[in-house]
Amino acid sequence: MKNDPLPEILFLDSSFIISALINPVNGSPRKVKELDAAQTFVKRIIEEKKAVAFYTLAITAYWNIALLSELCRKYSYSDYRAFQSAKQKLKNSPSCLTDDIKERLDNHKKSFETIYESFEVCFKIESCYEIHSLAYKLIKKYHLESYDALHIASMQVGGENDFVSFDDDFKRCYDINLWCDCD
């Protein structure tokens, strides 16, 4: 985690939002470290009254991981295939979304809303042609996954350069200022 002075606005990747709000299912040392680092960094952003932005895709990613995490907890999926097992369970048996899981998902929603409202200013970046066009170029330039390229493109179209993420793939993006690293 960088200790440099924070810029006026930081662009948040979905991996950072997920790390700040969802306890890791498997408790791997890296995930636990990311959780602590993300929560500490969020407090710093709030205390220093800095603005944040994120691509609307981050909300979808957060919701998906929250759902799969709750299924993993409920059905005791804990190995490296946990999310695949949870996806299969949901596909084969939609009734697995029991009331206790729905309640926990409501808690995740409240956590997201609380953190969102805690930031001094928070921008949600909507999808547009310019973002998709730039994302295509970034996929080729940095060999990124499409979702990752969309995050970077939405940041760059907005004229920003400071990106907060735990995803190692962004280390290949030499022309952005990457803020989080738990290695």
- Taking each helix axis as running N to C, give the angle between helix 99-118 and helix 14-21, from 0 to 180 degrees, rounded to the nearest 10: 110
List, for residues 149-169, the tens digit of each pLDDT value.
999 999 999 999 999 998 889
Q: What is the pLDDT of residue 85?
A: 84
At residue 148, does pLDDT exceed 80?
A: yes
Question: What is the structure's pLDDT at 152?
Answer: 96
> Which band of pLDDT confidence, cut at 50, 70 and 90, is reported for residue 12?
very high
Which tokens is 64 given?
């998906």
CB within 8 Å of 126: residues ≥ 6 apart? 56
Q: How confident is the model at residue 25 (pLDDT cuts 50, 70, 90)?
A: low
Position 6 pLDDT exceeds 80: yes
Given this model, what pLDDT does residue 26 score? 61
Report the candidate in 71, 56, 57 with the shortest Cα–Cα distance to residue 22: 71
Taking residues 16-34, what's their average pLDDT? 79
Q: In degrees, to the nearest 5, what angle opens at C-alpha 136 toward C-alphas 178 and 112?
A: 50
Confidence of residue 75 (pLDDT cuts 50, 70, 90): confident
Give the pLDDT mean for 97-118. 90
Q: Is the pLDDT of residue 79 over 70?
A: no
Question: Do the Cβ atoms of 54 and 18 come closer than 8 Å?
Answer: no
pLDDT of residue 180: 79
In the chain, what are the domain boundaries? 9-178
Residue position matching structure tokens 């030499």: 174
24: pLDDT strictly greater than 80: no
User: Is the predicted pLDDT of residue 58 greater than 70, yes or no?
Assistant: yes
Q: Among 23-32, 109-118, 172-181, which is the least confidently predicted range?
A: 23-32
Yes or no: is domain 9-178 CATH 3.20.20.70? no
pTM of the model: 0.85
Average pLDDT, the chain: 88
3-state SS of the chain is CCCCCCCCEEEECHHHHHHHHCCCCCCCHHHHHHHHHHHHHHHHHHHCCCEEEEECHHHHHHHHHHHHHHHHHHCCCCCCCHHHHHHHHHHHCHHHCCHHHHHHHHHHHHHHHHHHHHCCCEEEECCCHHHHHHHHHHHHHHCCCHHHHHHHHHHHHCCCCEEECCCHHHHHCCCCEECCCCC
118 pLDDT exceeds 90?
Answer: yes
